[in-house]
Amino acid sequence: MTVPTQPFDVLLVEDDIADAMLIEEALSERGARNLIRVTDGVAALEYLRGPDSTRPDLIVLDLNMPRMNGRDLLKILKSDTELQVIPVVVLTTSTAPDDVNGAYSSHANAYVAKPVNLEEFEQAVQSIDAFYLDTATRPPA
């Protein structure tokens, strides 16, 4: 596994504290990450549109959250010309076909169901990280 030479900014939109801690731990094992965590879509938009906020290299998004869920946030992100280029990976417990189809219809870059097994969960997060931050070519800032 390669370790990136520069820190990457990841915005985690996740209301479950335990899942957030697991994601943060899995990302930190891969190298320097500036992880910003918010607990719902409203807070994510406040962060992304804040004048002093750093544009994330990747957004990891849960679907089921209070105030504004991930479905609504994804639609807003992908219709905003300033934010639509940020890759968004949906990482959620749902495997419902409507959720998967809805996420891709709203232009999610990927949809990953959270594995129940701890080791598989960590591997899934690290695979997302490796692909989007090491392998994929991103648009210039």
- Please report, in tens digits, the pLDDT of each residue of the chain (141 residues total): 444 456 789 999 999 999 999 999 888 877 767 899 999 999 999 999 999 988 999 999 999 999 999 999 999 999 999 999 999 999 999 999 999 999 999 999 999 999 989 999 999 999 998 898 888 887 776
Q: How far is CA 70 from CA 2, 91, 93, 137, 139, in A?
A: 30, 10, 12, 25, 23
Side-chain-side CA neighbours of 101 within 13 Å: the count stands at 3
Residue with tokens 């002093």: 52
Residue with tokens 């419902």: 96
pLDDT computed for residue 6 by the predictor: 62
pLDDT computed for residue 141 by the predictor: 64
Contact 132, 101 (CB under 8 A): no
Which conformational region is residue 92 in: left (phi greater than 0), alpha (psi within -120 to 50 degrees), or beta? beta
Task: Quote the distance between the C-alpha of residue 81 and its chain's center.
Answer: 18
Name the pTM for this structure.
Answer: 0.91
pLDDT computed for residue 140 by the predictor: 73
* Residue 73, both tokens: 């946030």
Q: How far is CA 87 from CA 67, 69, 78, in A?
A: 23, 18, 10
pLDDT computed for residue 32 by the predictor: 63
Residues contacting 19, CB < 8 A, separation 6+:
62, 114
